[in-house]
Structure 1
Amino acid sequence: MAKRTTTTSRKKETPRLRGAANIEEAKAFVAERGIEEIECVVPNQAGVARGKVMPVEKFFGNPVMSLPNAIFYQTIAGDYPEEELDRAVPTDSDLLLQPDFSTLCVVPWASDPTVQVLHDAYHRDGQPVENAPRNVLKRVLKLYEEKGWRPVVAPEIEFYLVKKNLDPDYPLEPPIGRSGRPEIGRQAYSIAAVNEFDDLFELIYDYSEAQGLAIDTLIHEEGAGQMEINLRHGDPLDLADQVFFFKRTIREAALQHDMYATFMAKPIARQPGSAMHIHMSLQDARTGRNVFSDRQGRPTPEFFAFIAGLQTHLPAAMPMLAPYVNSYRRMMKNSSAPINVQWGYDNRTTGLRVPPSDAAARRVENRIPSSDANPYLAMAASLACGWLGIENGLTPGEPVSGSAYDLAFDLPRGLLEAVSELEDSEALKDVLGVNFVRTYTAVKRAEFETFMEVISPWEREYLLLNV
C-alpha cells in the first residue's frame, strides 16, 4: 500500500460514479450494476437519513414516495415537540418525496447490490416543504441566483475514531491502532498516527470512490484519534450532499474495523472539539469572476459586507451551527475553538478567517460550525448571514491581528440562549422561512428538555454529598 503524503492527498481522477440526468439514465445506471434495491433517503433536521428501502421494480414503477410530515419534526432522540406538531400537522398527513437523480450512487457497504438517492420533499400542491433542510438551502441559494451569483463552498469535517462503547455512562476512549496501543497524546498532522489506521482509511477511500465522492485531503487533527477530511470546493447543495454521504460512509467504514466514528462536537473531555469549517466565496454566474475581488485584485465592498453579515447574524444562527447541548462544550476559553465573531487575515483564533490566497480564490472561512451540524442547515445559515450583510450594505469591525481567544465571548453560551436569539431574529426568519424557524426551534427546545432528564456524572461527583 502506498504511503501517504503529509495531507494524505490522492491525485487520480475520481470516475463519474454518481448521478443521473433523468429517470431513463437512472434506470441504465441501475441495470448496468445489477442493482436489486434502492434506498430512498431524505435528510431530516438532524441530518439523519430517513426514508424507505424499495425493490428496483417497485421504485421505477412510481419513483415518487410518501412519508409522514412528522419526519421533519423529529428530535435526535426520536421524540416530537407535540404541541408544535399538533398545531402544524393535526392530521399527520403525508408529504411527497421526489428523487433527485443527480445524487444517485451505490451503497458500497450493502450486502446486496444497492443504490441510494436523495429525495426532496413537496406538499401535494407541488410547493416545496419549507421545513426540509435541503429545501432551506435551496431557498437561500435562490437569493444569490437572483443577483446573478453562485456561492462556492469547501467544507472541512473533523471527527473522532473511538473504541466501541456500549454503555453511555462510560467515557469514550481512543481506539487501538495497528501498533496495539491507543494514542495518549495529541498528534496533529502526524503521518505515523494516520498510518495506525491505514486499513480503515483505505476502506474510506474505496467506499468514497465507489460513490463518486471526492476527498481532497485527509489529516490527523489535534485530538487523540481525531481526523479531518477536506472536500474540494464547489456548489453548496452538491457539497452538502457529499458531507451527508461522507458521514454515513465514515461511520460504516469504522464499524467494519470494530470502532466508532463520531461527529459529536465534544466527545472526549480535555480533548479538542470537532468542527465543520466552511470556506465561502461568490462567483459571477455569467463570467465566473470572484465577486469578492475587483479587476485589480483588491477586495470588493461585497467581500467586506459579507463578513459584516456573518458578524451581525451568526450569533442568532447558532442553533444551525451548534445544534446540541454538547456543541457548546466545544466553544470554551483555551479550547482551540472560536468564542466570538471577530475576523482576521490568516488568523485561526477568530471565528471568521480570511485565508491567504490570490484574488481569484479570495474567500471567508467560517470556523464556528461544529461537526455535529446538519450540513444543509450550516451552509444555508452561513450563506444567509453573508447575503444579509451584502443586501443591507453592512460594514465589518476591524480585523484582529492578535489572539481573538483573549477577547470577550459574543456567541451564545448554550442551546436555549441560541434558540432564543434565532426566534428573535426577524431577518433570519425572512431568509430561512418563518415556518422552518418555528419548527426547528421547537425541535431544539424539545431536545433540551430530554437532556434535562439525565443526571450527569458532574452532578453526582460534586453535589451528591456536598449540598
Structure 2
Amino acid sequence: MDKQEILHQINASENNRVKLAIVDIDGVVRGKIVHKDKFMSSIDGSSGFCDVVFGWDMADQSYDNAKVTGWHTGYPDAEYTLDLSTYRKIPWDEEIPFFLGDFSKINHPACPRTLLKKVIKKAEAMGVRPLFSQEFEWFNFDETPDSLHDKQGINPKPLTTGMFGYSLLRASQKSDYFNDLFTLLEDFRIPIEGLHTETGPGVYEACIQYTDILEAADRAVLFKSSVKEIASKHGIMPSFMAKWNSELPGCSGHVHQSLWKTGKNLFSDNKDPMKMSDFLKSYIAGQLLLLPEILPMFAPTINSYKRLVEGAWAPTTITWGIDNRTTALRVLNSSEKSTRLETRVPGSDVNPYLAMAAALATGLYGIENQLKLTISPTIGNGYEDKSNGTLPPDLKTATEKMKNSDVAKSLFGEGFVDHFCRTREWEHRQFAASVTDWELRRYFEII
C-alpha cells in the first residue's frame, strides 16, 4: 500500500491504538502504543524516543562506559522516524496497526537499522540488489515467565521430550501452537517458507521467505518477538539463546544472501565448474578475510560462543564449501535462481540488522577490492580444516579484534564500532563478575 492507503486505513479504523517500535543494539524490540491522533501528527516528521534504549543493556542496566548517551548526557529524546512501509496489523492482538522506526534521520551510531540502511546504500551505489533471508532454530518450553521465575531461571521444562528432528508426530502433538505460528506470522507479513521440528526436545526451525534485505531484516527481527507473543497465548516460552544446554545442539540463525541486477542472479555462472561467478567468489573471499574482525556482529553474547564448538552443527573454522554444513560459509548452487551463500556463523541470539549488515558489507568489500578466492572449498569435515585459521573463541577476544580493526571502522563507521565494542565489553564484564552454578558445584565443598 502507498502512504495515502495506509493513512486511510488508520483513519477509518475504530481502533484508536497504534503500536510503534524501534530495535536496540541487542536486537530487542522496544516500543509503545500511542493514540492514532498522535501517530497521525508525527508521520510527516519525526518524534522523540528516549535514547536510554541505546544506553542500557538487554536487562535495562545502564552502561557505565557508553559515550553516545548516559548519565552524562541526561538521556534526552533522540529523533526517530517511522517507516510506513513496515505497516502491519497484529493478528493475535486485536489487529492493532504496527510500524517500525529508526534513527537514520540523525544518523545515530547505535541504531542497528540505520547501520543496515547505510550498507544497503553502498550496495545500491555498486548497482546491485541484495536479496536476503534468515532461518532460526529455537527451543520451546512448558513454562511461563512466572513459573520460570519461581525456578530461579534454571531447569526449564522442554515442550516435548526426545530427539525428534523433522518429526510430524511431535509437530502434531502441539498442533495448535505449531499451526498458529505458520498462519499468524503469514498474516503479520512474515511469510514462512518452511517450519519443522529440529533434533532436540521442544526445538523448532523456521525458514523465512527471502526478499529485499531491509525487509528481510525487519521480518527476522519481528519473527523472534512475534514467536514469543504467539507462544505466550499457548502458555509456552520460546528461547532464542544460542545454547541453553551443553548436552544439546545449539540454535542457529543462518543468513542466506544473493545479489541481483536487472533480474539476474550475480552469484551464478553456469560456465564455471562450481557454477559460481567471480562475483560470488570475491564476495566469499571478503567474508572469510574479515570474519575474525566482525565476529561479534554474528556472535554478540557470552553464550554465542558456547554454540561455536566442534561437532555441534556450528562452524569453528574459517572455511567454505559446496553444500557443506560443517563450514562457516556454505554455497548452494543447485540452480541459477536459487544460487546463494549461507553464512552459518550467526546463532539465533543474533541481531538480524547487524548480522545482515556484516554479511553484506564484508562481501561487498571483497567485490570492491576484487579479492581472489584463494582458499579451496573444504571437502568433508570443516572442523578439521584449520588451514585458514579458526574463529575467535570467546566474546572478549572477538571484541578486541573488532575494536582494533581499521577495516571494521571503515565499513561501519568509527561511531558504531566504538559504541558496539563498548557494549560487548560491558557484556563480558557482567559475566566475569558473576558466580556461576558451575563454580559452586566445582569449588564449594572440595577446594
Q: For residue 82 of structure 1, give the secondary structure of its aligned residue in structure 2.
A: coil
Question: How much does 1:268 deviate?
Answer: 2.2
Map residues 373-388 of structure 1 onto 2, 5 A cutoff.
373-388=350-365
Question: How much does 1:295 deviate?
Answer: 7.1
Q: Could you report, residue by residue, the CA deviation over 1:174-211 in whole angstroms, capped at 9, with x for unpaired residues? A: 12xxxxxx31x211111111112110022223321331
Partner of 1:66: 48
Q: Is the 8 A contact 1:214 1:232 kept in 2?
A: yes
Partner of 2:91: 108
Q: Is the 8 A contact 2:69 2:75 kept in 1?
A: no
Partner of 2:267: 292
Partner of 1:350: 327
Normalising by structure 2, we get a TM-score of: 0.92
Partner of 1:317: 294
| Residue among 224, 230, 236 paired with 1:247 | 224
Q: Is the 8 A contact 1:172 1:268 kept in 2?
A: no
The alignment status of 1:171 with 2:155, answered yes or no, reads yes
Q: For residue 5 of structure 2, give the secondary structure of its aligned residue in structure 1.
A: helix
Partner of 1:96: 79
The alignment status of 1:200 with 2:177, answered yes or no, reads yes
Partner of 1:85: 67
The alignment status of 1:454 with 2:434, answered yes or no, reads yes
Q: Is the 8 A contact 2:343 2:359 kept in 1?
A: yes
Partner of 1:149: 128
- State the percentage of identical aligned residues: 30
Say how many residue pairs are matched. Answer: 434
| Residue among 419, 432, 452 paired with 2:412 | 432
Q: Is the 8 A contact 2:109 2:419 kept in 1?
A: no
Q: Is the 8 A contact 1:207 1:249 kept in 2?
A: no
Normalising by structure 1, we get a TM-score of: 0.89
Partner of 2:32: 52
Question: How much does 1:149 deviate?
Answer: 0.3
Q: Is the 8 A contact 1:309 1:394 kept in 2?
A: yes
Task: Give the whole-Å Cα distance in 1 for the aligned partners of 2:73 and 2:421.
Answer: 19
Aligned-partner residue type, residue 79 of structure 1: Q
Aligned-partner residue type, residue 466 of structure 1: I
Aligned-partner residue type, residue 50 of structure 1: R
Question: How much does 1:91 deviate?
Answer: 4.4
Q: Could you report, residue by residue, the CA deviation over 1:13-68 in whole angstroms, capped at 9, with x for unpaired residues? A: xxxxxxx432x322222245432211110011111122321011121123332013
Partner of 1:236: 213
- Mark the runs of 5 or more structure 2 residues left unpaired by the alignment: none
Higher mean alpha-carbon deviation, 362-371 vs 73-82, is at: 73-82
Q: Could you report, residue by residue, the CA deviation over 1:195-243 in whole angstroms, capped at 9, with x for unpaired residues? A: 1211002222332133122111101112211111101111111011111
Partner of 1:406: 384
Q: Is the 8 A contact 2:270 2:336 kept in 1?
A: no
**Pair 1:86–1:279, CA change in 2 (3 A):** closer
Moved runs in structure 1, 4+ residues, more than 6 A? Answer: 86-89
**Pair 1:96–1:406, CA change in 2 (3 A):** same
Task: Give the whole-Å Cα distance in 2 for the aligned partners of 1:294 and 1:105.
Answer: 38
Q: For residue 85 of structure 2, give the secondary structure of its aligned residue in structure 1.
A: helix
CA RMSD of superposed structures (Å): 1.9
Q: For residue 413 of structure 1, give the secondary structure of its aligned residue in structure 2.
A: coil
Question: How much does 1:70 deviate?
Answer: 3.0
Question: How much does 1:105 deviate?
Answer: 0.8
Q: Is the 8 A contact 1:319 1:419 kept in 2?
A: yes
Aligned-partner residue type, residue 84 of structure 1: A
Higher mean alpha-carbon deviation, 82-91 vs 439-448, is at: 82-91
Q: Could you report, residue by residue, the CA deviation over 1:265-297 in whole angstroms, capped at 9, with x for unpaired residues? A: 00123110001111111101xx22111234746
Aligned-partner residue type, residue 376 of structure 2: E
Partner of 2:107: 128
The alignment status of 1:421 with 2:405, answered yes or no, reads no
Task: Give the whole-Å Cα distance in 2 for the aligned partners of 1:21 and 1:291.
Answer: 30
Q: Is the 8 A contact 1:45 1:74 kept in 2?
A: no
Aligned-partner residue type, residue 442 of structure 1: R
The alignment status of 1:308 with 2:308, answered yes or no, reads no
Map residues 270-289 of structure 1 onto 2, 5 A cutoff.
270-284=247-261, 287-289=262-264
**Pair 1:191–1:87, CA change in 2 (3 A):** closer
Q: Is the 8 A contact 2:17 2:36 kept in 1?
A: yes
- Mark the runs of 5 or more structure 1 residues left unpaired by the alignment: 1-19, 176-181
Partner of 1:339: 316
Aligned-partner residue type, residue 77 of structure 1: A
Q: Is the 8 A contact 1:45 1:73 kept in 2?
A: no
